[in-house]
Amino acid sequence: MAEILVVVDMQNDFVSGVLGTQEAFDIVPQVVGRVVDGLNRGETVLFTRDTHEADYLSTQEGKHLPVPHCIRGSEGWEIIPQLQEYAAHPIDKPTFGSQYLGSLLRARDEDLRRQGQPGVEKVTFIGVCTDICVISNALLAKAFLPEAEIVVDAACCAGVTPESHRTALRAMKACQIAVEHEGETD
Protein backbone atom coordinates (compact mmCIF):
# COMPACT_ATOMS: atom_id res chain seq x y z
CA MET A 1 0.00 0.00 0.00
CA ALA A 2 1.49 3.34 -1.07
CA GLU A 3 1.26 5.75 1.85
CA ILE A 4 2.75 9.21 2.19
CA LEU A 5 3.26 11.23 5.35
CA VAL A 6 3.53 15.01 4.92
CA VAL A 7 5.10 16.96 7.78
CA VAL A 8 3.98 20.56 7.41
CA ASP A 9 6.22 23.46 8.47
CA MET A 10 7.74 22.05 11.66
CA GLN A 11 10.13 24.99 11.76
CA ASN A 12 11.73 26.90 14.59
CA ASP A 13 9.68 30.05 14.01
CA PHE A 14 6.41 28.10 14.42
CA VAL A 15 7.50 26.04 17.43
CA SER A 16 9.81 28.18 19.58
CA GLY A 17 10.29 31.33 17.54
CA VAL A 18 8.37 34.46 16.68
CA LEU A 19 5.10 32.61 15.86
CA GLY A 20 5.63 29.71 18.25
CA THR A 21 2.87 28.49 20.52
CA GLN A 22 2.76 26.19 23.52
CA GLU A 23 0.52 23.85 21.51
CA ALA A 24 3.12 23.59 18.73
CA PHE A 25 5.86 22.97 21.27
CA ASP A 26 3.74 20.30 22.97
CA ILE A 27 3.21 18.21 19.80
CA VAL A 28 6.93 17.85 19.01
CA PRO A 29 7.33 14.42 20.67
CA GLN A 30 4.22 13.07 18.91
CA VAL A 31 5.39 14.42 15.55
CA VAL A 32 8.85 12.89 15.94
CA GLY A 33 7.29 9.58 16.97
CA ARG A 34 4.89 9.62 14.01
CA VAL A 35 7.75 10.32 11.57
CA VAL A 36 9.85 7.47 12.98
CA ASP A 37 6.84 5.14 12.93
CA GLY A 38 6.06 6.12 9.34
CA LEU A 39 9.60 5.48 8.19
CA ASN A 40 9.64 2.12 9.97
CA ARG A 41 6.39 1.17 8.20
CA GLY A 42 7.76 2.17 4.79
CA GLU A 43 5.84 5.39 4.31
CA THR A 44 7.34 8.04 2.08
CA VAL A 45 7.92 11.04 4.36
CA LEU A 46 7.88 14.54 2.88
CA PHE A 47 8.50 17.81 4.70
CA THR A 48 7.28 21.26 3.72
CA ARG A 49 9.08 24.42 4.79
CA ASP A 50 7.43 27.83 4.86
CA THR A 51 9.89 30.02 2.97
CA HIS A 52 9.88 33.79 2.71
CA GLU A 53 12.41 36.24 1.36
CA ALA A 54 13.77 39.46 2.88
CA ASP A 55 10.94 41.44 1.21
CA TYR A 56 8.29 39.51 3.21
CA LEU A 57 6.62 42.63 4.64
CA SER A 58 5.86 43.89 1.12
CA THR A 59 4.10 40.65 0.11
CA GLN A 60 0.37 40.03 0.32
CA GLU A 61 0.88 37.72 3.31
CA GLY A 62 3.23 40.19 5.00
CA LYS A 63 0.63 42.94 4.72
CA HIS A 64 -1.92 40.75 6.54
CA LEU A 65 0.53 39.18 9.00
CA PRO A 66 3.25 41.79 9.55
CA VAL A 67 5.52 39.44 11.49
CA PRO A 68 8.66 38.47 9.56
CA HIS A 69 9.10 34.71 9.89
CA CYS A 70 10.69 31.77 8.12
CA ILE A 71 13.03 34.05 6.16
CA ARG A 72 15.20 31.88 3.92
CA GLY A 73 18.51 31.11 5.60
CA SER A 74 17.47 32.25 9.07
CA GLU A 75 17.42 30.03 12.16
CA GLY A 76 13.64 30.39 12.30
CA TRP A 77 13.35 28.98 8.76
CA GLU A 78 15.10 25.75 9.71
CA ILE A 79 13.25 22.54 10.49
CA ILE A 80 13.28 21.98 14.26
CA PRO A 81 16.40 20.14 15.49
CA GLN A 82 14.42 17.06 16.56
CA LEU A 83 13.37 16.44 12.92
CA GLN A 84 16.36 17.67 10.91
CA GLU A 85 17.84 14.21 10.37
CA TYR A 86 14.63 13.12 8.63
CA ALA A 87 14.14 16.24 6.51
CA ALA A 88 17.00 16.09 4.01
CA HIS A 89 15.13 17.83 1.16
CA PRO A 90 12.16 19.82 2.41
CA ILE A 91 9.76 21.35 -0.08
CA ASP A 92 10.12 25.11 0.19
CA LYS A 93 6.80 26.86 -0.26
CA PRO A 94 6.29 30.63 -0.49
CA THR A 95 2.65 30.48 0.54
CA PHE A 96 0.25 28.40 2.61
CA GLY A 97 -0.35 25.57 0.14
CA SER A 98 2.27 24.02 -2.11
CA GLN A 99 1.31 23.46 -5.73
CA TYR A 100 4.60 21.61 -6.08
CA LEU A 101 3.55 19.17 -3.34
CA GLY A 102 0.28 18.52 -5.18
CA SER A 103 2.15 17.90 -8.43
CA LEU A 104 4.62 15.62 -6.66
CA LEU A 105 1.80 13.57 -5.13
CA ARG A 106 0.07 13.22 -8.50
CA ALA A 107 3.33 12.25 -10.22
CA ARG A 108 3.98 9.56 -7.57
CA ASP A 109 0.43 8.25 -8.06
CA GLU A 110 0.87 8.11 -11.85
CA ASP A 111 4.26 6.37 -11.55
CA LEU A 112 2.78 3.68 -9.31
CA ARG A 113 -0.15 3.14 -11.67
CA ARG A 114 2.20 2.81 -14.67
CA GLN A 115 3.93 0.04 -12.72
CA GLY A 116 0.61 -1.77 -12.32
CA GLN A 117 0.20 -0.80 -8.66
CA PRO A 118 -2.88 0.82 -7.09
CA GLY A 119 -1.32 4.29 -6.81
CA VAL A 120 -1.12 6.50 -3.74
CA GLU A 121 -3.78 5.19 -1.42
CA LYS A 122 -3.29 7.39 1.65
CA VAL A 123 -1.71 10.76 2.44
CA THR A 124 -1.48 11.77 6.10
CA PHE A 125 -0.76 15.33 7.23
CA ILE A 126 0.83 16.41 10.50
CA GLY A 127 2.41 19.69 11.63
CA VAL A 128 1.54 23.35 11.94
CA CYS A 129 -0.54 25.39 11.64
CA THR A 130 -3.69 23.27 11.41
CA ASP A 131 -5.79 26.28 10.48
CA ILE A 132 -3.46 27.70 7.81
CA CYS A 133 -0.88 25.49 6.13
CA VAL A 134 -2.10 22.03 7.18
CA ILE A 135 -5.63 22.66 5.92
CA SER A 136 -4.35 24.33 2.73
CA ASN A 137 -2.11 21.40 1.83
CA ALA A 138 -4.64 18.73 2.82
CA LEU A 139 -7.24 20.36 0.54
CA LEU A 140 -4.68 20.58 -2.27
CA ALA A 141 -3.88 16.89 -1.86
CA LYS A 142 -7.60 16.12 -2.03
CA ALA A 143 -7.81 18.08 -5.30
CA PHE A 144 -4.73 16.40 -6.82
CA LEU A 145 -5.62 12.88 -5.58
CA PRO A 146 -9.42 12.79 -5.27
CA GLU A 147 -9.55 9.00 -4.84
CA ALA A 148 -6.81 8.76 -2.20
CA GLU A 149 -7.65 8.76 1.48
CA ILE A 150 -6.51 12.11 2.88
CA VAL A 151 -5.98 12.09 6.64
CA VAL A 152 -5.01 14.65 9.27
CA ASP A 153 -3.62 13.32 12.55
CA ALA A 154 -4.99 15.89 14.99
CA ALA A 155 -2.72 14.75 17.82
CA CYS A 156 0.28 15.73 15.68
CA CYS A 157 -1.07 19.14 14.67
CA ALA A 158 -1.39 22.53 16.34
CA GLY A 159 -3.22 25.62 15.22
CA VAL A 160 -2.65 29.30 15.85
CA THR A 161 -5.09 28.84 18.76
CA PRO A 162 -6.80 25.72 20.12
CA GLU A 163 -10.14 27.04 18.83
CA SER A 164 -8.85 27.70 15.30
CA HIS A 165 -7.29 24.20 15.35
CA ARG A 166 -10.71 22.68 16.14
CA THR A 167 -12.43 24.86 13.52
CA ALA A 168 -9.95 23.71 10.86
CA LEU A 169 -10.51 20.06 11.79
CA ARG A 170 -14.27 20.54 11.38
CA ALA A 171 -13.77 22.22 8.00
CA MET A 172 -11.54 19.39 6.78
CA LYS A 173 -14.08 16.78 7.87
CA ALA A 174 -16.72 18.61 5.82
CA CYS A 175 -14.42 18.22 2.80
CA GLN A 176 -14.11 14.44 3.31
CA ILE A 177 -10.69 14.55 4.94
CA ALA A 178 -10.43 11.98 7.73
CA VAL A 179 -9.39 13.30 11.13
CA GLU A 180 -7.59 10.88 13.45
CA HIS A 181 -6.91 11.25 17.18
CA GLU A 182 -9.04 14.38 17.49
CA GLY A 183 -9.89 13.99 21.18
CA GLU A 184 -6.21 13.64 22.08
CA THR A 185 -5.53 17.33 21.35
CA ASP A 186 -8.04 18.95 23.71
Q: What is the rounded average pLDDT of the residues 163-172?
A: 98
Total number of domains constituting the chain: 1
Instruction: Dump pLDDT digits (tens) for 47-66.
Output: 999 999 999 999 999 999 99
Say which CATH number the domain at 99 has: 3.40.50.850
How does residue 182 score in pLDDT terms, banded at 50, 70 and 90? confident
Q: Which of 62, 54, 66, 68 is nearest to 13 (CA)?
A: 68
pTM of the model: 0.96
What pLDDT, on the 0 to 100 scale, is given for residue 184?
61
Instruction: Dump pLDDT digits (tens) for 94-148.
Output: 999 999 999 999 999 999 999 999 999 999 999 999 999 999 999 999 999 999 9
What pLDDT, on the 0 to 100 scale, is given for residue 186?
46
1: exposed, middle or buried (Cβ count in 10 Å: 0-12, 13-18, 19+): exposed
Domain that holds residue 110: 2-185
How does residue 151 score in pLDDT terms, banded at 50, 70 and 90? very high
